[in-house]
Amino acid sequence: MSDIYVPGVKSRFNTEKLIEDLMKVERIPRERVERNVERLRNEKTYWQDVSRRMTALKDSARLLFSFQNPFNDRIVNSQDSSVISGSATREALEQERSFTVRQIAQADRFLSAPLDDSFRIEPGDYTFAVGKDEVNFNFRGGTLREFTESLNRRGKNVVQASIITVQRGTRSLLIESLVTGEGNRLAFSGDAEKLALDSGMMEKANDSRRPVGLTENSVRAGAGSVQLIAVEKGELWAGAGGSASVLLGTSIPPDPGLLFTFEASTETFSEEMAAVPEPPPGPDIPDAGSVTYGGITVENDGMAVTLPQWIPPEPPKRVDDMSFITLNFTDGSSARLPAIRDSEEFRPYQYRLQDLVGDKSIASVNIENRNTHRDINIRNILVYDPRHIGGLEPMNPVSVARDAEFAMDGIELKRASNSIDDILPGVTLTLKSASERPVTLGVEPDRETIKDSLIALVGNYNRLMAELNVLTRTDERIIEDLGYLSGEERDSLRERLGIFVGDSTLSSFRGSLQRAGSTPYPTSDMDLNLLAQIGIGTDVRSSGASTGYDPSRLRGYLEIDEKALDNALESRLPAVQQLFGFDTDGDMLADSGLAFALDRLTQPYIETGGIIALKTGTIDSRVNQDTRRIDTMERQLAAREMTLKNQYAQMEGAYSRMEQMSTSLDSFSQQANNNNNRR
């Protein structure tokens, strides 16, 4: 049916196919230009890929010698991170310290008695205080849940409440301070105090505060210390060598919760200011007298006493003793408090009496300044039970506010928080649990981060080298050597294999890149100047490994011997750092090293207006030019196709007219023949 000719519908001579065949020939030049445009665009993509690889290498190289290089990073390693851990900034010094955590800082957390589900909190004005912070709100009355939600909305990171099911069928109210430290006790006032009592959270308690008065009546100077002891306005001054006893009036009985606190300051003076003994004055000799007669006075000879030569005694040996307070007990025994620290300002000190006295009662407090070059001032001696808060005592304390107590290299320290950043510069410590066993904490370089950065540099180096090998060579074994590639990645590389085989730009760069990886660089360690000496190189196989010919090792890829690298980072870290970036002229800027060399090598290629930018710019110009040619050819082809269509249309029209004339002539001839036959 396709061969049936329908006038006005189908061409008699299949002119559409004739025109299409002719146009295919006409389109050959345009298709050639289009293929060239596609090739140019692919080349631009390849150049851009090379640029990205170079940029990645440059970035990883710059990281190794810039101000933020990982060689200056510090980490804190703890012998027991469940007791103490830490973090360090780049300013931290390498060091090792021993810590003993006596106790960690805690906050007040008080639990009520089990309460019935129907328990309701009365309307009122509720005030909770933590240290100097206060939370106050007016509650209109309601359930435990409504109260906790109301308190938590206003807690302001100071105090919070929650409901805990301690016993099935009942609920307990937990109110806790969010701030640790003995100075941040949780206190109740107003209707909050009534709630604490009604809920069985607190109970009334007698005030346990026992201030030890420092007055002229309660302080007695020791033998020979009258001039070395002075009391004024509640402060006791004990000069060097002075001693005194402070009477308590009544003994202080043992109690496991009692604390002994005081404030003390010291004043240290130099050797020259210490008392220097002077020679004795000798005997007091009376006047010899005289005689007067007739206006003449005759003086008697004075008495002469021969004194032995005075030899000054040797100056006393310097004594430094910071443990100067002794507690005397009713059974005649005593216990000395731990040493304090030198400070011209008054500093607070606190001790648990249970650790010092056991089950003994304190009768008096002795002050004995055994120092030869130090005066001591004491004030605000107080014995109290921290569990008693404003006349209240918690009945179910989950925890009681206290300071963290710990020792660093034997130095006793105390802080209100478990996060401590004011002891070691650049180091933040975190206390986690108490332990009698000392824990070693070391601040050291972050060698894992350094190693990761070096591995990243080698990885970016090898990826760039693989890209260069594929683009500038035609050997398919280059792709086969890259065993880590997926099948799709291999196919993609095959498409670009040898694309720039004649481009001297990449070939030259590839050679420079290989030389950078094998060049010696100066360091402060004369025995370390090559990458291979730290386990990085084109052939760093360990001894005993196969040394047969391996063509893949000739393509410029770097390998890493992790064991050798770990040893270098552990024992020769400064030289390793200098191997990648070193300031040889003292201007505080790196001017040598592999990382510095790679940064400078890639810079001309990837910078704005650089070599790759010029390459891609040239390609863009050629693409634009060919695109304009394609547009022109499209217009010309469209005009040519229209011309062919018109010509074939005219041809078919002429043919149709000729057929019509032939038909007319045939009809006329037939009619003439018919007329002749009738005659």
Task: Supply the DSSP symbol for 376.
Answer: E
Alpha helices (H) along 308-446: 353-357
Give the pLDDT mean for 465-487: 85
The DSSP-derived string for 587-644 is SSS--BSHHHHHHHHHHHHHSTTSHHHHHHHHHHHHHHHHHHHHHHHHHHHHHHHHHH
pLDDT at 162 over 50: yes
Three-state secondary-structure class, residue 407: strand
Q: What is the pLDDT of residues 279-326, one digit of tens each?
A: 666 667 677 677 777 777 777 776 666 777 777 766 667 888 888 899
For residues 488 and 496, give the distance between their C-alpha atoms in angstroms, rounded to a whole number.
Answer: 13
Q: Which amino acid appears at position 109 of this protein?
A: R
Three-state secondary-structure class, residue 547: coil
Q: How would you write 523-587 as a 3-class SS string?
A: CCCCCCCCHHHHCEECCCCCCCCCCCCCHHHHCCCCEECHHHHHHHHHHCHHHHHHHHCECCCCC
Q: Of 297-311, 473-487, 573-587, 640-654, give the lowest mean pLDDT range.
A: 297-311
Q: Of 351-365, 433-447, 579-593, give the lowest mean pLDDT range.
A: 351-365
Residue 527, both tokens:
């025995």
Three-state secondary-structure class, residue 436: coil
pLDDT at 543 over 50: no
Please give the residue that has the higher pLDDT: either 498 or 545: 498
Q: Label residue 544 by pLDDT band (50, 70, 90).
A: very low
Virtual CA dihedral for 12, 18, 20, 26, nearest 10 degrees? Answer: -150
Q: Label residue 648 by pLDDT band (50, 70, 90).
A: confident
Structure-token match 């400064």, residue found: 574
Q: What is the pLDDT of residue 509?
A: 93
Please give the residue that has the higher pLDDT: either 166 or 190: 190
pLDDT at 545 over 60: no
Highest averaged pLDDT of the listed ranges 207-216, 263-272, 422-431, 661-670? 422-431
Give the pLDDT mean for 60-77: 93
Q: Label residue 146 by pLDDT band (50, 70, 90).
A: very high
Three-state secondary-structure class, residue 478: helix
Q: Label residue 12 by pLDDT band (50, 70, 90).
A: low
Alpha helices (H) along 443-572: 447-472, 477-480, 487-496, 504-518, 562-571
Q: Which residues make Cβ contacts (< 8 Å) with residue 321, sequence separation at least 6?
A: 339, 370, 371
611-678 and 594-606 helices, crossing angle to 10°: 40
pLDDT at 549 over 50: no
Gyration radius of the chain over CA positions: 50
Q: Label residue 600 by pLDDT band (50, 70, 90).
A: very high
Please tell me whether the overall predicted TM-score, pTM, comes out greater than 0.75 for this model. no
Q: Of 268-282, 302-316, 538-552, give the lowest mean pLDDT range.
A: 538-552
Q: Which helix (H) or strand (E) holds 215?
A: none
**Average pLDDT of every residue of the chain:** 86
Structure-token match 């007040």, residue found: 108
Give the pLDDT mean for 636-640: 85
Q: What is the pLDDT of residue 6?
A: 45
Give the pLDDT mean for 361-373: 88
Q: Label residue 124 by pLDDT band (50, 70, 90).
A: very high
Q: What is the pLDDT of residue 67?
A: 87
Task: Please name each of the domains of the chain with its CATH number.
Answer: 44-70+448-541+552-607 (no CATH), 75-105+403-443 (no CATH), 109-204 (no CATH), 209-269+319-384 (2.60.120.430)
Q: What is the pLDDT of residue 5?
A: 42
* Residues 276 and 315: beta-carbon distance below 8 Å: yes
Q: Label residue 11 by pLDDT band (50, 70, 90).
A: low
